[in-house]
Amino acid sequence: MSLEAQIETLRGDLSAAIAAAENEAALDGVRVAALGKKGSVSALLATLGAMAPEDRKSAGPAINGLKTDIAGLIEARGAELRAAALDARLRAETVDITLPLKPGPTARGRIHPISQTIDEITAIFSDMGFSIAEGPDIETDYFNFTALNFPEGHPAREMHDTFFMKPGPDGVKKVLRTHTSPVQMRVMQKTNEKPAAAYLTPAMDPPIRVVMPGRTYRNDSDQTHTPMFHQVEGLVIDKSSHIGQLRWVLEEFLKAFFEVPSVTLRFRPSFFPFTEPSMEVDVQCDRSGSEVKIGEGNDWLEILGCGMVHPNVIRNAGLDPDVYQGFAWGIGIDRIAMLKYGMPDLRAFFDADQRWIEHYGFRPLDLPTLFGGLSS
Amino acid sequence: MKFTLDWLKEHLETSATPEEIGKALTMIGLEVEGIESQGKALEKFVVAHVVEAKPHPNSDHLNICKVDAGTGTLIDVVCGAPNCRTGMKSVFAAPGTYIPGKDFELKAGVVIRGAPSNGMLCSAAELELSNDHDGIIELPEDAPIGERYVDYAGINGVVFDISITPNRGDATGVYGVARDLAAFGLGTLKTTDFSPVPSHGPSPIPPLPQNFAAGESKAIRKFAGRYIANVKNGPSPDWLQARLRAVGLRPINAVVDITNLVSLGWGRPLHAYDADKVEGQMVLRNARGEDFDALDNKVYRLDETMTVIADDKGPLCLGGIMGGIRSGVTDETVNVFMECASWDADLIAQAGRKTGIVSDARYRLERHVDPALTEPGMELATRLVLELCGGTPMEPAISGEDVFPNTIVDFPLAEVRRLTGLDVSATEIEQILGRLGFAVEGAGETRQVKVPSWRPDVTQKADLVEEVMRMVGVDNVPVEPLPRLDHVAPRILTTIQNRRRIARRALAARGLDEVVTWSFISHDDATRFGGGTADRQLANAIASDMTDMRPSLLPGLLAGARRNANRGFADIALFEVGQIFLSDLPEGQHTYASGIRTGTAGLDGAGRHWSGKAKTVGVWDAKADLAAALDALGVDIEKVQVLPEAAAWSHPGRGGRVALGPKVILGWFGELHPALAAELDIEGPVAAFEIDLDALPEPRRKPTRTKPAIALSPFQPVSRDFAFVMDKAVPAATLLKAARGADKALIKDVGIFDVFEGAHVGEGKKSVAIEVILQPRDKTLTDEEIEKVSAAIVAAVTKTTGGELRK
C-alpha cells in the first residue's frame, strides 16, 4: 500500500474513532493510540528516519499534516464533550425556583403601632427643637395633682378616675399617674438633687421645649377607654411664648403627623387645673366614610387639650410667673394612632394577639424620619 | 347639663337660631355635646278623631273604631283602652310608626280577632311622655285633626346638652348660661324677681341652730328656711312637667318640681320638707354614724365629717346632697318648709365622694353656688310655691352667714397680649369684663377688677385673660411661628430612650413581634416573678387580675402566648420593651427588654417547610436573642460574664445570667421552668430572656470621636486545633478565657468547634475541641514559634480547667 493510501486509511480510521469517542476517557484512548509513543501516527512518523531524503521531502509534510489534523480533531471533540458534560451537569442541577422561601426574620417581626407612633411624634418634635423627657408611672399625689394646681378635694380630681397605690414604706401618698402632666413639673422644678434614675429627665432651665410621652392610667374601661393608655405631653417655657405660637405648634404637628397639606383646628375654651387659659382642640375631619379623614370634611373631632401653663404651676416649680410663661398640651397617643392607622378598638392594642400585630404593626426597619417620610 | 330653647329664652331675650346659640356656647367654653329636637322621635304621631267606637264581637274589652286622622279616609283600628269611646280625640300612629314606649314598629295589615287594625291609638306611656298607661291620651274637642301631636302639644322644643367644666359652677343653671351668652352678645339677660315675699307671722320652725363644736368641720354657712302653710300640693302644671321631662327629670309633685326648676333654672339647689313630719326641733349638726334613708331609696351610713339637717329622731337631710324619705314632700303635704342654704363646696364634695351619692344638688354645690343667691333663692322658691300651690308664707328662718371672697385682681391690661398674642384695646377689655359682671376700676395700665360673687374660680390675672379670650374667640388669636432656638439641639433622646428604640428594632429584626401588655398583672403572677409587695399593689384595682405592678415583663408575654395558643397559634415569638417595677419609687422603675419564643418559633421561623422542619425552641434561642439585642446596644456578650446562675423562672440547668461583676446584672436567659410552665398552663417549650436596659453601663465619654488607627497585617493567619478532656461541669467560658490569655499578642480568636460526651472520654467528662487563630504581625511564624504558643495554650488550659490534651 502506498504511503498516501496508508495515511488516508489511518486518517479515516482515526477520524471515525475520534467521532465515536463518547467521553473524555475514550477520547484520550484514541489520542494515545494515535499520537502516543507507540501510537499509529507516531509509528508512521518513525518511518521517516529510514526513508531516502527525496522520499522524506514529500512524506514528511504528509505525515506531519496527518498528526496536526488528528490532534485538531481530538481537541475539537474534547471541547464538544466538555460542553456536553457541563450542559448535562447544569441540567441535573436545575431546581424549581418557584418553591417558596421561608420568610426571614425581618419579614416576620413587627413593631407595635404605639412605639411607631411615639417614634413619629419624636421625629416631628425633634425637628421643632424639642427634646424628650420622662417621669415615673407610679407618681406621688403631689406631682400628679397638688403641684399641678388640683386642690385637695376639688371636683377636677374626680375627672380623673385615679388608681391609688397601697401605702408603701415611705408613707407618701402615691397614684398611678392619670396623665403625663406631672413630668412638666419634674422638668421645670429646680432641685439640687440628681435624679434617682437614669430615665428621669433632669430639671431644665428655661427656655424649655420638651415632649413627654408615656403610659398613663385611669380606672375606666370600654371600647374607647382602657385602664392603661398613652399620652404625650408638650411643654414650652420661656419669657414670651403665647397662645398664638401654641396654635402654630399644634397645627404644624398635626399636619406633619397626619401627613396632610393642611389641617383646620377649632380651639374651644375649656378647663384644666394646670393651664389658664385652657382650651380643647377639635380637628376638622370627614367622618362620613368608614375611615376618618383628617384635613377634609365638615365634622369636628376632639383631639387634644392645651393651654397656657397656670401661674400657680409655674410658681410651684419655683419660677416667677411674671417673668416666665409658656404653654402645654396633651394628646392621646393611642387615639391619634387609631385615627391615623384606622384601628377600631383600643382594647386590642394590649391583647398581644399575633394576628393583630402582624396586621397593624410596622416593619423593623420602617424607621419614621422626616427625611424619609414618617410612614412609607 | 340639658335645657330647652324655650327655657333659655325665659332668661335670654334673643332672636338667635338654635345653631347660632350652639356655636356660641361651644366657642365660649360651654361645650355643646348635642342639640336635639325633642319631638323628633314622636313626629309621626297625629291628632285623630274617634268617629265611631263599638264593641268587638269576639272580645269583651276590645273596641272596633273608625278613626279620622286627617287622611281623607276613615281608618279601622282595634283599641283595647278602657276610655276609648265614640267622639273622643286622641293620638294616632299609622303603620310604620316606631312606638318608643313599646320598642316596636307598627305593622300594616294586622287582624285582631278577625277585625282589621291599621294603626294604633296611643297612651302617654307608649309615647314615653309619662307612666300613664291606663288609657289612650284624651285631647280637647278642639284639637285639630291630622296635626302633628308634638306641634299641638308643644313638645317640639330644641334640647341643648352642654358639658360644664368643674370651674364653672355659675353655668350650672340656665340663668347662668344666659348670662354668659348675653355677655358674648347673643341677646339680653332677663332679670328674675327675687324680691322678698311678705310674711304672715312668725315661722313655726325657728331658725335652725348650728350646733358645731369649735374646730369641728362645718359644711353649712347660711341656712335660709321658709315655712309655707296650707299649700295645695299635687301634680304640677303641664308646662312645668314638660320642661322637666324634656331634660330627663321625672315630675313628682308641684313643690318638688319647683325645687328642681330652681336648681336647674338658676343653679340654686333647694330642698323641701314636709313640716308636719318633722319631730321636735330642726337643727344643723354633724352626723353621728347614723344610717340615713335617702330619697334614692338607699341607706347611707353618715359620719361626723358630714353636716345634716336633723330633728329629734335623726337626720332629715344630708346637707347639700340629698333629702331623706322620712320628711319628703308628697301630694298630701300641707305645710312645707323650704330650704335654701349655702355650703362649703369642698366639704360637700368630700361627703359626696364618701357616700357616692350623685345628685343635682351636690353637682352644683361642690362647684360653688353664688352665695348672693341664698335668701333670694328662698324668696324665688316661695313665690313659685304661692303661684302654683297657694299657701301662707311665714317669716324666713335664717341662721349663719354667707361667705363672700370679694376678690379684687390687679390686672395689667398687657397680660392679654402677653399670654395670648391677641391685641385687644383697653376699652374692649373693660366692656367684656363689664358684661360678664366684673367691675373694672382705676385707670392706666393696671386696673382693679372686682370679681362677681358667682365667679369664685377667678382669682388671678390669667383667669381674667381667659375671660377676655373666650369672649373675643380663640380662633381670632393670630397664629405665629414659635421662634427656633439659636442652636441645634445637642441631643433629643436620652441614653435610655435611645436604648429602647434600638432594642425594639433589633428584636423585631429577629422575627419577634412587639407587644404592649398591661403594667398591672395578677397578684399570683407578680409573686411568681419576684414582686407582689404591698407598695406595688393598687388600692382600687379595676379587675382581680390587674392588681399588682409588674415586676417583670414575662408574665404579660406568657399570658399573651397563652391567649394566642388558645386561638390556635402555638408558635409565637413576642417581645416587649417597657417599664417594670422593683418598688414604688421612681428609681424602682426600670426599663426591660424581654422576649419569649414558644413551640418552633425560632429565628428561622416556625412550622414545617420543604427546606426542613423547624426545631423546637430552647435555651440557645434565648441566649441568641439576648446577645443580639445586647450587640445592638453596643455590648459584646463574649466580653461580659455569662454565668450558669439561672433566674427563678428558668430551668436551672438551661438558663443563665449575664452580668458585669457581682452587682450589675444585665439580663437573664433560659428555658421556662417546666413546673412554672405547668402552673401557668403553657405548653412548653418556652425560651425567654430579660434585659435590664437601665443596668447597661452609661457609655463613657470619649475624648475624641476619632477611631484608633487600624493595623492590617500582611501575613496570613495560622490556625491550630486542640481537643481537651475535662470535667463536664467546667464552663466552656473558663476554657476560652484561658486559651485566649495564653498569648494575647498572637492569639486573635479562639472558637469551639466540637463538644461531646461519651463513655470513651470517661464518666462525667467531656471533650471540647477548639480552633485557635494566630495572627502574626511583623513576620511569618516559624514552626518553633507556633510550637511555643501551642504549648502555652495547652499549659494554660490544663492548669485552669484541670483537664488534659486529648491524645
User: Can you tell me the mean pLDDT for A75-90?
Assistant: 94
Q: Tell me the C-alpha distance between B462 and B709, whole Å.
A: 61
Residue A101, domain member (yes or no): no
Q: Quick: pLDDT tens for B635-670.
A: 999 889 999 999 999 999 999 999 998 889 999 999
Domain B45-153 fold: OB fold (Dihydrolipoamide Acetyltransferase, E2P) (2.40.50)
Q: Is residue A322 part of a domain?
A: yes
List the beta bridge partners of residue B89: B49, B139
Write out the residue range of the structural domain in which residue A227 sits.
112-360
| Closest listed residue to residue A249, CA positions, set A281, A206, A202, A292 | A281
Distances (CA, A) of B209 to A361, B221, B222, B576: 68, 12, 11, 64
**ipTM of the complex in this document:** 0.90
Question: Does residue A145 sit in the same domain as residue A180?
Answer: yes
Does residue A28 lie within any of the structural domains? yes
Closest to B419 (Cβ–Cβ): which among A217, A308, A364? A308
The CATH number of B718-805 is: 3.30.70.380
Give the whole-angstrom CA distance, residue B436 versus residue B332.
Answer: 43
The per-residue pLDDT for A192 is 57
Higher pLDDT, B512 or B807: B512
B206, B397 in Cβ contact below 8 A?
A: yes
Contact between A102 and B605 under an 8 Å Cβ cutoff? The reply is yes
For residue A228, the SS3 value is strand
Is B480's pLDDT higher than 90? Answer: yes
Is the pLDDT at B31 greater than 70? The verdict is: yes
pLDDT attached to residue A140: 94
Burial B642-652 (b: 16+ CB within 10 A, else e): beeebbebbbe
Specify whether A195 is located in the same domain as A268.
yes
Residues A85, A135: one domain? no
Looking at 3.40.50.2300, 3.30.930.10, 3.20.20.80, 3.60.150.10, the CATH number of the domain B495-692 comes to: 3.30.930.10
Question: What pLDDT score does A227 carry?
Answer: 95
Cβ(B748)–Cβ(B781) below 8 Å: no
**B2-38+157-189 sits in which CATH class?**
alpha beta
More confident call, B500 vs A8 = B500
Yes or no, beta carbons of A115 and B591 under 8 Å apart: no
Q: At residue A198, does pLDDT exceed 90?
A: no
For cell 375671660, the residue is B467
* pLDDT attached to residue B103: 85
Q: Which residues fall within 8 angstroms of residue A32, CB to CB, at 6 or more apart?
A: A39
Q: Is A128 among the domain residues? A: yes
Least confident of A329-333, B247-251, B442-446: B247-251
Tell whether B59 lies on the interface with A, counting CB pairs under 8 A: no
Q: Are B268 and B431 in contact (CB under 8 A)?
A: no
Question: Does A356 share its domain with A212?
Answer: yes
CB A63 within 8 A of CB A41: yes
pLDDT of residue A201: 81
Distance of CA B401 to the CA centre of its chain: 38
Query: What is the end-to-end Cα distance of chain A in Å, rounded?
Result: 88
Same domain, A43 and A118: no
Which residue, of A65, A93, A121, is where some domain finishes? A93
pLDDT at B114 over 80: yes
Task: Provide, rounded to the nearest whole percent, the portion of chain B with pLDDT above 90.
Answer: 79
In a domain, A104, yes or no: no
Q: Is there a common fold for B495-692 and B718-805?
A: no
Residue A376 predicted with pLDDT over 70: no
State in Å, rounded, how far the first CA of chain B is from the last one.
93
How many other C-beta atoms are found inside a 10 Å radius of the C-beta of residue B304?
Answer: 12
Q: Is the pLDDT of residue B361 over 80?
A: yes
Max mean pLDDT among A4-18, A53-67, A102-116, B105-119 falls in A102-116
Residues A87 and A119 in one domain: no
Amino acid at A139: E
- Residue range B572-585, pLDDT digits in tens: 999 999 999 999 99
Task: Give the torsion through C-alpha atoms of B40, B45, B46, B50, to 10 deg.
Answer: -160
B residues 740-799 closer than 8 Å to A (CB): none
Q: Do residues A197 and A239 share a domain?
A: yes
pLDDT greater than 80 at residue B791 = yes
Whether A22 is in a domain gets the answer: yes
pLDDT in the model for residue A191: 66
Let me know: does B465 contact B429? Beta carbons within 8 Å: no
pLDDT digits (tens, 9 = 90+) for B258-286: 999 999 999 999 999 999 999 999 999 99
Residues A212 and A272 in one domain: yes
Q: What is the CATH number of the domain that holds A168?
A: 3.30.930.10
Q: Do A269 and B470 touch (CB under 8 A)?
A: yes
Q: Residues of A64-87 as b/e, b for ≥16 C-beta within 10 angstroms?
A: eebbeebeebbeebbeebeeeeee
Residues A276, B511: C-beta atoms closer than 8 Å? no
Pinpoint the alpha helices (H) of chain A. 3-20, 24-35, 40-46, 53-93, 105-108, 113-127, 141-144, 155-158, 181-188, 243-258, 311-316, 333-341, 354-360
Assess whether A248 and A172 both reside in one domain.
Answer: yes
- Is the pLDDT at B23 greater than 90, yes or no? yes
Mean pLDDT confidence for A104-129: 95
Angle at A76 between CA A70 and CA A78, to 5 degrees: 100
What is the structure's pLDDT at A221? Answer: 84
Partners of residue B574 in chain A, C-beta under 8 Å = 352, 354
| Segment B279-325, tens digit of pLDDT | 999 999 999 999 999 999 999 999 999 999 999 999 999 999 999 99
Please state whether beta strands B513-514 and B439-441 pair in parallel, antiparallel, or not at all (unpaired): unpaired
In a domain, A211, yes or no: yes
Which option is the CATH number for B410-476: 3.30.56.10, 3.20.20.70, 3.40.50.720, 3.40.50.150? 3.30.56.10
Q: What is the DSSP string of A288-349?
A: SSSS-EETSSSEEEEEEEEEEEPHHHHHHTT--TTT-EEEEEEEEHHHHHHHHH----GGGG
pLDDT the model gives residue B460? 95
Distances (CA, A) of B604 to A104, A366, B402, B621: 6, 21, 77, 10
Calculate mean pLDDT across residues B768-794.
Answer: 93
Which pLDDT tens digit goes with each residue over A133-173? 999 999 999 999 999 998 877 767 777 789 999 998 888 99
Q: Which has the minimum average pLDDT: A195-204, B368-377, B506-515?
A: A195-204
Residue pair A325/B533 in contact (Cβ under 8 Å)? The answer is no
Q: Does B415 touch chain A (CB under 8 A)?
A: no
Whether the bond into B703 is cis, omega within 30 of 0: no
Q: Which residue(s) pair with B720 in the sheet?
A: B772
Name the pLDDT band for A295 (thresholds 50, 70, 90): confident
A21 with A82, same domain? yes
Average model confidence (pLDDT) across chain B:
93
For residue B639, CA distances in Å to B187, B634, B668 come to 79, 11, 16
* Residue-range domain boundaries for chain B: 2-38+157-189, 45-153, 220-400, 410-476, 495-692, 718-805
Cα separation of B82 and B97, whole Å? 23
The SS3 assignment for B65 reads strand
Start-end of H helices in B145-275: 149-153, 174-184, 238-246, 254-266
Does residue A309 lie within any of the structural domains?
A: yes
Give the type of residue at A52. Answer: A
pLDDT of residue A275: 96
Q: How would DSSP label each residue in B372-412?
A: GGHHHHHHHHHHHHHHHH--EE---EEEE-------EEEEE
Residue B559 touches partner A, C-beta closer than 8 Å: yes
**A80 and A212 co-located in one domain:** no
* Mean pLDDT computed over every residue of chain A: 91
Res B24 pLDDT > 70? yes
Residue A153: predicted pLDDT? 72
DSSP A357: H
From chain A, pick out residues whose CB is under 8 angstroms from the CB of B505: 111, 364-365, 367
Residue A324 and residue A235 in one domain: yes
List the single best residue of B513, B540, B547 to mutate versus A (max A Cβ within 10 A): B513
Q: How many domains does chain A have?
A: 2
Class of domain B220-400: alpha beta
Q: How many residue contacts between A and B have a Cβ separation below 8 Å?
A: 298
Specify burial of residue B276 (Cβ count, 10 A radius: 0-12, 13-18, 19+).
middle
- pLDDT confidence of residue B145: 92
Q: Considering only alpha carbons, which residue of chain A is nearest residue B346?
A: A153
Is the CB of residue B48 less than 8 Å away from at least one CB of chain A? no
